[in-house]
Amino acid sequence: MDIYHPVTIGNLALPGNLFLAPVAGYTDRAFRSLCVDQGADFSFTELVSAESVIRSRPDLKVPEAPHPVNILLRPADNEQRYAIQLFGADPERIGLAAALLGPWRPAALDINAGCPVPKVVRSGAGAALMQDSANLGRVVEEAVRASEQFLGAIPVTVKLRSGWDSQSLNYADCARIAVEAGAAMVSLHPRTRAQGYGGRSDWTCIADLASRLSVPVTGSGDLAAAEEARRMLRETGCAAVMFARGALGNPFIFAETRALLLAQPYRPPGPGERLAAALRHLERLAADLGERRACVEMRKHFCAYTKACKLGRAGIAGGAALRNSLVHAETMEDYRRILEEAGLLFE
């Protein structure tokens, strides 16, 4: 099989195997839309609390309403297929939340069993589910039941870490239990919860899991360049790769990776093109959040875009000073003015 190929997840057929991972605080629908523009084959929302979905139930009848949860759940205008990722530790509450997702018509429902953030873990959710694999199975079962009853039997998928710490690498057991409970795909970020986002991910865990499961395995971890995605696909035998931090500020990584996998020519965008994309991101985010809040949210995104400019061979002179100006921008015009004064909007 070619290294770039379609992926089938339960009853969902995807045209390719380059996915955008859920990244809290970053993969808003505005950013996802840019990744889709650049060829992402599938994308995931930021993790969404099952409790927040349940509590906002009156608003769920109007998916376009500007409720914070609605904004997290809504697909981008160009997203033909996307997954909503839920987190929670109570199977019944996961099932109830999943049952309420119909208005958004997600193509899949993803269960987060890998988030290492303390406030998520303290609730028994995220990576804490891997310490209670039996409950993980019950969570998946309830999600599958709700999907079959209320969502047209869309596939349920699960995102795992390699384990809680180096002494409890139980990803294989957790994945087996999830699949037996009905999961149609398992995504693995092969770092432990104790590692957080430090150290290196262990791709041998992805290869091991891909050799064990009958469902697709998606690999994640340390994918900051197209060449690394190709190497993961070749070395691990995973069905798909999932870009996380490597895509932040760099939605172009999808087009670049696809071109590499298909042996097609590719011209990396220069700093001006990258920052023009950042302005489109800001405009789309402002349409969701309003200009004031979007401008605050975009400060971190613009820092990511300017750092990603180093991926282009030209780079940005005075990048640190530019970022210092951008993090003080308060309006869309501020952002445009700063970039224009730096001579970066047009190549």
Active site residue 35: no
Same domain, 99 and 38: yes
Q: Based on the structure, what is the number of domains in the chain?
A: 2
Is there a contact between 194 and 181 (Cβ–Cβ < 8 Å)?
no
- Tell me if 2 is assigned to some domain: no
Domain end marker among 261, 283, 306: 261
Closest to 277 measured CA to CA, from 254, 296, 261? 254
- Say if residue 298's pLDDT is above 50: yes
Same domain, 256 and 297: no
Burial readout 98-108 (b: 16 or more C-beta within 10 A, e: otherwise): bbbbeebebbb
Domain end marker among 231, 261, 291: 261
Same domain, 217 and 292: no
- As a whole number of angstroms, the distance between CA 216 and CA 184 comes to 7
Same domain, 255 and 334: no
Domain end marker among 261, 296, 327: 261
pLDDT at 347: 45
Q: Band of the pLDDT at 342, cuts 50, 70, 90? A: confident
How many Cβ atoms sit within 10 Å of the Cβ of residue 265? Answer: 5
Same domain, 202 and 83: yes
Instruction: State the average pLDDT for the chain.
Output: 93
Same domain, 255 and 276: no
Would the CA dihedral through 62, 286, 83, 117 be positive or negative?
A: negative
pTM of the model: 0.94
Same domain, 250 and 281: no
- Tell me if 279 is assigned to some domain: yes
- Residue among 35, 115, 174, 303 flagged as catalytic: 115
Per-residue pLDDT tens for 146-201?
999 999 999 999 999 999 999 999 999 999 999 999 999 999 999 999 999 998 99
User: Residue 107 gets which letter from DSSP?
Assistant: S
Same domain, 200 and 305: no
Same domain, 56 and 184: yes
Same domain, 13 and 46: yes
Token look-up 């996307």 returns 82
- Tell me if 87 is assigned to some domain: yes
Q: Which domain range does residue 310 map to?
A: 271-341
Per-residue pLDDT tens for 262-276?
999 999 998 889 999
Same domain, 301 and 281: yes
- Tell me if 346 is assigned to some domain: no
- Tell me if 266 is assigned to some domain: no
Same domain, 120 and 229: yes
- As a whole number of angstroms, the distance between CA 273 and CA 251 comes to 11
- Tell me if 250 is assigned to some domain: yes
Integer angstrom CA distances of residue 156 from 62, 153, 196, 230, 286: 24, 9, 25, 26, 31
